[in-house]
Chain A
């Protein structure tokens, strides 16, 4: 059974940093591209970042470029999101999500984690 379990969320002050983790199981993690998607309270879904299967290629939404860094450790089956210079508008539930690959390089999401809440407030 595919499982994605996020952790690392919490309350952080504006300008602060936080690192989210997403532990994957039930599939060959190293073969799949992975993403982060966020959802502000009561709002819609917003794509944040993607990383390819070996971690050599990444991309970001303009709203987080230069502040967030996506990475992965395939030996630990874990996806990360390092978030720096956090702002109030970064407050959201952050989901990790899997692409349908391997071999299907299409950026839609067939499995999602349960999400972890990040609150940026003083």
Chain B
């Protein structure tokens, strides 16, 4: 099973600032099969990024993904008030799908 470790656990930032979230894998993620989701309290997750760097339909271009192998990054270029939430990475390069533990982006 591929273990995904997200860091930091919590990111305290102000609106307008840049957010950089990391997701590290215990072994190489095949074909960069990595997705990012946003989840707000009481709601289901929302797909942001797939294949490490492709934005899902309707996702603003302030969200971008990068990385390959074992190191992946989600960047939010300028935080909007609606971006404060928990973010999860997920790998689908192996048959046993796994998620990271999440990064909470909170208002400073």
Question: Which A residues contact B (CB, under 8 angstroms)?
Answer: 35, 44-47, 50, 59, 61-62, 95, 100, 106-110, 112-115
Contact = CB atoms under 8 A, between A and B. Distances in A.
Given A44-B99, A106-B50, 18 more contacts: A44-B88, A44-B102, A45-B90, A50-B97, A59-B95, A62-B1, A95-B44, A100-B50, A106-B51, A106-B92, A107-B33, A107-B92, A108-B33, A108-B92, A110-B57, A112-B46, A113-B44, A114-B44
B98 interface: yes
A44 B92 contact: no
Contacts, number: 55
Given A44-B88, A114-B44, A108 B98 contact: no
B44 A47 contact: no
Most A Cβ at <10 Å: residue of B50, B51, B97? B97
